Chain A
Amino acid sequence: MMNLTLKVWRQKNHKDKGGFVDYKVSGISTDMSFLEMLDVLNEELSAKGEDPVHFDHDCREGICGACSLYINGHPHGPQQTTTCQLHMRSFADGDVITIEPWRAKGFPVLKDLMTDRSAFDRIIQAGGYVSVNTGGVPDANEIPVPKIIADEAFDSATCISCGACVAACKNASAMLFVSAKISQLALLPQGQVERKSRAENMVAQMDAEGFGACTNIGACSAECPKGIKLSNIARMNREYFSAVLSSDNV
């Protein structure tokens, strides 16, 4: 059982300035997840009639991408996993833990530790799809895909849209997220038809949302809970430059 001090970012709403508030929690077991530890805090706060700490979370299985806490200077904390999959055995009795929201221009804070990440949805809307309607598609096995290619596309497709890459980057760049989707579809035969316009439109939207430039530091990939590789960014750059050289967007 551990006793901990939490320095938690509290901010009433988008307009509020916000600041850190210290809380003490005790009786935390090493089996708890980080979010369960916050549940304990919130139950205590609620019982006292104080506003619980708001944070995004849903699946608590590391797959929905909702949880998004910046813990002791790292997105999702000390391990390369999601906040919900971080367990208290990664901490020690007496630790002081600082908990902040993602900080990036593209992700304004809504309340406490919750941010607005709808910019990512708009980037996908700009081209993160294959334009096929329901029905009238060929039999699935008429589009063979070499296993190595399928596996590589899969690796890129596992991005959970959490935004840790942006939070980790000193430029708040969204390149890793955007490149993961562009890579997945650039690798697969289904993605070929719209390859150029996709790269151009998604990159344009990314810039419009106010995300910063990539200066190849690699913090994004190092902190990505799904291990999305930097090679995706290299591929995206190739896709983008070859697209603008022979643009379909005229």
Chain B
Amino acid sequence: MILDSKIPEGPLAEKWNKHKFNVKLVNPANKRKYEVIVVGTGLAGASAAASLAELGYNVKAFCFQDSPRRAHSIAAQGGINAAKNYQNDGDSVYRLFYDTVKGGDYRAREANVYRLAEVSVNIIDQCVAQGVPFAREYGGLLANRSFGGAQVSRTFYARGQTGQQLLLGAYSALSRQVANGKVKLYPRTEMMDLVTVEGKARGIITRNLITGTIESHSAHAVLLCTGGYGNVFFLSTNAMGSNVTAAWRAHKKGALFANPCFTQIHPTCIPVSGDHQSKLTLMSESLRNDGRVWVPRTVEIAEKVRKKQIKIADIKEEDRDYFLERKYPSFGNLVPRDVASRNAKYVCDEGRGVNETGEAVFLDFRDAIKRDSEDAIRSRYGNLFDMYQQITGDNPYKEPMMIYPAVHYTMGGLWVDYNLMTNVPGLYALGEANFSDHGANRLGASALMQGLADGYFVIPYTLGDYLAGMSKETVTADHDEFKKAAKEITDKIQKFLSIKGTKTIDHFHKRLGKIMWEYCGMARNAEGLTKAKGLIKELKAEFWRDVKVLGTPDELNMSLEKAHRVADFIELGELMVDDALNRDESCGGHFREEYQTPEGEALRDDDNFAYVAAWKYTGEGLESELVKEELKFENVKLTQRSYK
């Protein structure tokens, strides 16, 4: 199998414009003859559904939440990047492109990333026109802040609630199209399978989460905007419902899954407090603009801190190790996430962690408050500080925050070409669900940018190119392929309910999470990964033998919903481990302990691994097949990433 990324010819900076000119167009009168399914109403899905409906396509939009506005994007805190250069500090499309390729440790496609940087500026214009209340300066113009991996201020924000405000903008555009009759909404509806007819994506099978009804929906194209799969680790910063099912079922229907092991561990999250924990809470990266990360210089002092034998305020300046500032003087606390996380792990592994479990470092605002006043800090991060206090019971204006890395984002996802189409014709993947732009590590404030770029500015062009080349003939939902797929789902549900085992679904999910975190988390090695492979295999067998799924198919049934999701997470876990084992190098968030520089930084192997690892599903219980897409770097030089 050969993957064609369909990257347009020509110089980097001209590719997208040329491509937009070259793509086939669907004339306005014909657009209304096409139906498009959009699964997911986060930033990617809502922006795509609204924009396509505005163009005249008939859109059906699905989400499992009760309202499209509750998609996981709502929780994004810190901000969205754009190469506006409003700050006159030397930003440009090229710099954003360069930072992103470098930040991703040279495992992303140049052409995609350049386009992302190019359309980033349009996103901000669009959002402002919708009434998104971004932060502003006293002169009335937009304000910016800095994020990790960049030396310019290009991040636009709405206090600590940027995702909320951007999603509400996209949701408002979507709502307008619902009112216009161009979008039909299906909330509380979960996609259970993809339906292909003659090799092309022609629809989906869904389950109505209230009545349990299995339904078939046909269309000319299907867009998966279903978010990331961080919850494979059980504990992550993702919303509780975030899952891989839509993408995974499409994978089993032929779509390749790319770089599954590329997960982002975010450095600034509230540490785990106990076994009851259901999710981890992110403290936005923007806090690293003003907060300083440190641990005590010695294990002895750290020990006293853990036992609360010493007041933090009494620790002398020379006994504080601001380890990021020390090791990376030019980026300091704003090094990229993978670097910050790994270093937090190192100091805690040395025994210098500061909470009871020994797995936490300080994020300290003392100096910023002294410099700028408490009010200034409150106006920048008020809601984050409140949230921290709400959860931990501690006041971060008085005591430093305690933070630790946690699973946050998945760079891997469905393989897509330049047009965001998977290898299954007519099936597209947008937003976090695809693999395309962030390589092996995503820079802060770039996911929101990518989701909205895909939905507002890429898919409206590239989808038309595909549809123009296909017949308007509709395949109806009573086609045999739909019946077959629906029956498979009904059977699967019966299977779950008939096991009547002894262990709850969460029991299996937690065990899977522990295996993934231990062996396929912040640091990995061949031995551990091989072990994990065996453990997951056993877990899977036990799941299908002994899981207890309650209730009936025809009702609101939380237990059944989870069963589907966890079954898919287990299979995904196996593939992630395979992928991590295959990649005998370290890059970005994928840190293989065998491959590191003498200073403990990720050591890439560009000669052998400058490729996208796309995996093909070959059947139940069989090993997946690796398909490589070589990455060509014509504009940036591959170097050892340095933030010193």
A interface with B by C-beta (< 8 Å): 12-13, 29, 31-33, 35-36, 39-40, 43, 46-47, 49-52, 54, 56-66, 81, 85, 87, 89, 110-111, 114, 116-118, 120-121, 124-126, 128-135, 137-141, 143-147, 150, 153-154, 157-158, 160-161, 184-185, 188, 190-191
Cβ contact within 8 Å between B131 and A60: no
Could you tell me which B residues sit within 8 Å of A by CB distance? 47, 50-51, 54, 65-70, 72, 74-75, 84, 86, 122, 124-131, 133-142, 158-159, 161, 163-165, 168, 171-173, 175-176, 178-179, 185, 187, 210, 239-241, 273-274, 276-279, 281-282, 387, 390-391, 393, 456-457, 460, 504-506, 548, 550-551, 555-556, 558-559
- When chains A and B are docked, how far (Å) is the Cα of A27 from the Cα of B393? 19
> What are the residues of chain B within 8 A of A29 when measuring CB–CB?
274, 276
Closest-CB distance, B167 to chain A (whole angstroms): 10
Q: A145 contacts which of B140, B172, B187, B210 (Cβ < 8 Å)?
A: B140
Assess whether A13 is in contact with B240, with CB atoms less than 8 Å apart: no
* A190–B132 alpha-carbon span in the complex (Å): 9
Q: Which of A47, A59, A121, A138 contacts B75 (CB 8 A)?
A: A59
Tell me if A's interface is mostly helix, strand, loop or mixed.
Answer: loop
Once the chains bind, are A64 and B66 in contact (CB under 8 Å)? no
* A43 with B140: CB separation less than 8 A: no
Cα distance, A56 to B387, chains bound together (Å): 20
* Complexed CA–CA distance, A143 and B457 (Å): 21
Whole-angstrom CA separation of A56 from B239 in the bound complex: 12
User: Is the CB–CB distance between A58 and B130 below 8 Å?
Assistant: no
Residues of chain A lying within 8 A (CB to CB) of residue B164: 63, 158, 160
Instruction: Point out the residues of chain B lying under 8 angstroms from A145, CB to CB.
Output: 136, 140
A-B contact pairs, 29 of them (CB 8 A): A13-B556, A29-B274, A33-B391, A36-B276, A47-B504, A49-B548, A49-B550, A54-B558, A59-B72, A60-B279, A110-B556, A116-B66, A118-B66, A125-B176, A128-B172, A132-B173, A134-B457, A134-B460, A143-B128, A144-B139, A145-B136, A147-B136, A150-B134, A157-B158, A157-B165, A157-B168, A185-B131, A190-B129, A191-B131
Q: Are B276 and A61 in contact (CB under 8 A)?
A: no
Picked from A58, A138, A188, the residue with its CB within 8 Å of the CB of B239 is: A58
A129 partner residues in chain B, CB cutoff 8 A? 130-131, 172-173, 175-176
Given A125-B175, A158-B161, A161-B70: 11 more A-B contacts, CB < 8 Å:
A13-B555, A59-B72, A60-B240, A60-B279, A66-B66, A118-B66, A132-B126, A134-B126, A137-B128, A145-B140, A184-B133
Q: Is the CB of A128 within 8 A of B175?
A: yes
| Bound-state Cα–Cα, A132 to B501, Å | 54
Tell me whether B125 and A138 are in contact (CB under 8 A). yes
Q: Which 7 pairs from chain A and chain B are nearest by CB?
A: A144-B140, A129-B172, A137-B129, A154-B133, A140-B128, A134-B51, A64-B70
Query: How far is the CB of B343 from the nearest CB of chain A, in Å?
Result: 26
- Give the complex CA separation of A110 and B131 in angstroms: 34
Q: With CB as the reference atom, state the residue of chain B lying closest to A66.
A: B70
A36 CB to closest chain B CB (Å) equals 5
A125 contacts across to B, CB distance below 8 A: 175-176, 178-179
- Asked whether, in the complex, the Cβ of A118 is within 8 Å of the Cβ of B75, the reply is no
Taken together as a complex, chains A and B put the C-alpha atoms of A158 and B163 apart, in Å, by 11
Which residues does chain B contribute within 8 Å of A146, judged by CB atoms?
Answer: 136, 140
B141→A54 contact, CB < 8 A: no
- Knowing A85-B391, A117-B66, A118-B187, the reply to whether A60 touches B239 (Cβ < 8 A) is yes
> In the bound complex, how far is the Cα of B240 from the Cα of A59, in angstroms?
6
Bound-state CA distance A141–B457 (Å) is 20
**Which residues in A have their C-beta under 8 angstroms from that of B558?**
52, 54
B-side contacts of A57, CB under 8 Å: 240
- Determine the chain B residues whose CB is within 8 A of the CB of A116 once the complex forms: 66
Docked-complex contact A130 and B74, CB < 8 angstroms? no
Distance in Å from the Cβ of B390 to the closest Cβ of chain A? Answer: 5
Closest to B51 in A: A134
A64–B41 alpha-carbon span in the complex (Å): 13
B391–A147 CB distance below 8 A = no
Known pairs A36-B277, A110-B210; A157 contacts B133 (CB<8 A): yes
**Partner pick for B506 among A43, A65, A160, CB 8 A cutoff:** A43
* Residues of the B chain whose Cβ atoms lie less than 8 Å from the Cβ of A141: 86, 141-142
Q: Which residues of A contact B282 (CB under 8 A)?
A: 61
Residues from chain A with a CB closer than 8 A to the CB of B159 are: 154
Bound-complex Cα distance A107 to B506 (A): 30
Judge whether A46 and B504 touch: CB under 8 Å: yes
Give complex CA distance A63, B329 in Å: 36
Partner of A52, one of B69, B137, B559: B559
Residue of B nearest to A44 (CB): B504
- A61/B131 contact (C-beta < 8 A), A87-B390, A161-B67 known: no
